Amino acid sequence: MASVETNPLHRFGTLPRFDLIAPEHVEGGIRALIESLSGELEELEANLEPTWAGLIEPLESMGERLGYAWGLVGHLTGVKNSDALRDAHAAVQGELVVFGLKQAQSRPIFEGLEALQAGPTFSSLELPQRRIVENLLREARHSGVGLAEQERARFNEIAAELALLGTTFSNHVLDATNAFSLMLTSPDEVGGLPESLMAVAAQYARSHGEEEATAENGPWRITLDAPVLIPFLEHGIHRGRREELYRAYVTRASHGEFDNTIVIESILALRHELAGLLGFANYAELSIDSKMAASISEVDGLLESLRSASISAAQDDLETLRSFASGKAAESGAASQVDELKLWDVAFYAERLREARFDYSEEALRPYFPLPNVLDGLFALAQRLFGISIVSADGETSVWHPDVRFFRVLGERGDPVAAFYLDPYTRSSEKRGGAWMDECLGRNGRTSGLPVAYLVCNQTPPVGDKPSLMSFDEVLTLFHEFGHGLQHMLTRVDYSLASGIRNIEWDAVELPSQFMENWCYHKETLLGLSKHFETGERLPVELFDKITAARTYRAASQMLRQLYFSSLDLALHASDLKEAGEDIFSVQRRLAETMTVMPPLPADRFLCSFGHIFAGGYAAGYYSYKWAEVLSADAFSAFEEAGLENSSAVAEAGRRFRDTVLSLGGGTPPMDVFKAFRGREPSPAALLRHCGLVSEAS
């Protein structure tokens, strides 16, 4: 085992030596680090001075070293997974949780923070410093450290029980999903399905005892996994099978041995009790306490204004779909089939209508978006907007896979600002799905540390001589993650606990990422980064027009669905159901009356598989998706108002965006940051307009 001195996980402050790091560094390296940090923590607890230098700087330094080492392990688990790495990760994870709790629930540190806040030096600290202290105090309070002994014991009991219930909830969803399948044998049951789905379904069948199964002749095993279920509902012609799948899906984990009903009731009751211990009226108030939104009623107000702006358009969407569906049915001589459009018909006819209206396929766009050109266009946009240059620096440092690129970001005077890695292609054998931005190093003014980011995507790899040809969605994803990366890299906050994306409220953190996506619908930007890999042609304007038209297709229906989930999440967490004499399903039915245009089935139990709020981090926070979308659309509208063709006005707005949203990080309250950029509070008008929900004239 490597000694502490040579363990590459301990080289904090330098670019990681990916050529040296191996799974065998993890257990020893992390344990040694925890041991020395535990010593430092005890030392700090015994001797702390309630000043910035005496308390926060040691915490900052401990957090940075642990963040670097454990961040590297987490990063490699995501991009270069192996059994050895997974085992090493699992072996030390529990010890890290224990150490984290020890720090979060440290009485001396909590009292030191309180003394610092009440002391004579506090008012002379800079705003980001004060905000760091306030947020550390809030986190400590939310972790129960301020409670009297008996209450704290109950708090810890509840926290432990909630962790178990969250796991039970997820396991039930997983087990219930696995317990259901349809083995289809007749070709008419799989009519309409894409070839790719038939191949997957045959493969599923083979791994379940049907060794002879083929994509052409079946049998085909259909499950409730999203990549199978969704295309089946969108393309499967067999209406009876669609109904069967739909019903199974919305009743998942709601009956039998994997029933989550009682699990949910327990989770909600315990969360309510936990919030009460901390002095909040309900769990939603506890959640909102650390968010950008000021109150539940403010969130409710936003949700209601979006609902009233989208409900009639969503009804129109439904009417359009109804008449389209009956027309289609008449055409095919199956009129009786869709006398009445049912819930399991919606996705199917929505896809047929989409095909009829915007006849282009994602595949037809790919040749216009080779990765090298998309990157050139993205970097040119960053230069126009923010005055930064991005230069390739491949080979200057080691990487974890030959496809990974390394770039440096330079400021207007050519000064080094930041750096990032880009790992673009899917590598299913060792890389997690999805796309993300993560931190390698954060900015620290005291040590002159510059930020370094990881941008990870899962896009189509190059084949033969062809470059990676990106779908439009893949272009959007790259812009999105780059937006997160910009906020991490262009921060000017000197204090690492609030630099970049750190310390930013959950409901505000998607602002820069979604903001960048807007540029993919800007003609000059999108045409500018497109270049047919064979002919060199730019994307034809007709195709661009179809992309922008498709953006608003059924936007009101999608908006309403998200609002329904958001409101239901808040309603469940904002009251004591027992006291109110309601159960979770009666709350659902009550909200569905105003928030859906097609009422859910009486048997609908989708709450039983709503993992975001019962097993993820979104409890009383699902609204964050829409909240951040309002911010990002409104931010983009500042550029629209300036005139997107006016390059000097765009550059001016871009510099302002850089100097506010991208620079101030978690050091300034997000509402102040937004107002500094926009000159006023956010308004949902731009989001509604981008969704096609108000006329251009209004």
Interacting residues toward Zn ion by CB under 5 A: 513
d(CA 244, CA 227): 17
The minimum distance between CB 673 and Zn ion, in angstroms, equals 17
Nearer of residues 128 and 485 to Zn ion, judged by Cβ: 485
Alpha-carbon span 502 to 59, nearest angstrom:
15
In the complex, the smallest distance separating the C-beta of residue 481 from Zn ion, rounded to whole angstroms, is 7
3-state secondary structure 377-398: HHHHHHHHHHCCEEEECCCCCC
Helix ranges, 552-600 (H): 555-573, 577-580, 584-595
Cα-atom radius of gyration of the chain, to the nearest Å? 27
**213 vs 455, which CB is nearer to Zn ion?**
455
Closer CB to Zn ion, residue 513 or residue 557? Answer: 513
Rounded alpha-carbon distances, angstroms, from residue 292 to 288, 299, 511: 8, 10, 12
Residue number, 513 or 624, with CB nearest to Zn ion: 513
**Shorter beta-carbon distance to Zn ion: residue 503 or 513:** 513
CA 543 from centre of chain: 29
Q: Where are the alpha helices (DSSP H) in 80-126?
A: 83-104, 107-118
By C-beta, is 79 or 455 nearer to Zn ion?
A: 455
Question: Coil, helix or strand for 469?
Answer: strand
Please report how many Cα atoms fall inside a 13 Å half-sphere around the Cα of residue 677, on the Cβ side: 29
Least distance from Zn ion to the Cβ atom of residue 453, Å? 13
User: What tokens were used for 367?
Assistant: 């040749």
Helix axes 195-206, 226-235, angle to 10 degrees: 130
Report the distance separating Cα 622 and Cα 491, nearest Å.
Answer: 27
Please state the closest distance from residue 168 (CB atom) to Zn ion, in A.
28
Q: Are 275 and 283 in contact (CB under 8 A)?
A: yes
3-state class (DSSP) for residue 274:
helix
Residue 85 token pair: 């790495």
Residue closer to Zn ion, measured from CB, 307 or 484: 484
Q: What CA–CA distance (Å, rounded) separates 418 from 411?
A: 9
Minimum CB distance to Zn ion, residue 92 (Å): 28
The Cα–Cα gap between 427 and 433 comes to: 9
Minimal distance, residue 488 CB to Zn ion, in Å? 12
Nearest CA to 193 out of 150, 228, 219, 143 is that of: 228
**Peptide linkage before 467 cis (omega within 30 of 0):** no
Distinct helix (H) and strand (E) counts, the chain: 27, 7
Strand 389-392's sheet: what is its strand order? Answer: 389-392, 405-410, 416-425, 452-459, 436-441
Q: What angle do CA 628, 412, 128 make, to 5 degrees?
A: 45
Collapsing DSSP to helix, strand or coil, 540 comes out as: coil
CB-wise, 313 or 490, nearer to Zn ion? 490
Residue nearest to Zn ion (CB): 513
Minimal distance, residue 118 CB to Zn ion, in Å: 37
Q: What is the nearest approach in angstroms of Zn ion to the Cβ of residue 512?
A: 9
Catalytic residue status for 481: yes
Question: Closest separation between CB of residue 378 and Zn ion, Å?
Answer: 16
Indicate the pairing of strand 452-459 with strand 416-425: parallel
Between CA 513 and CA 519 the distance in angstroms is 11
CA 497/CA 482 separation, integer angstroms: 21
In the complex, what is the shortest distance from the CB of residue 478 to Zn ion, in angstroms, rounded to a whole number? 12
Nearer to Zn ion, 30 or 501 (CB): 501
Of residues 481, 505, 517, 629, which has the active-site annotation? 481
Q: What is the DSSP letter of 125?
A: S
Query: Closest CB to Zn ion among 612 and 655?
Result: 612
Name the residues annotated as catalytic.
Answer: 481
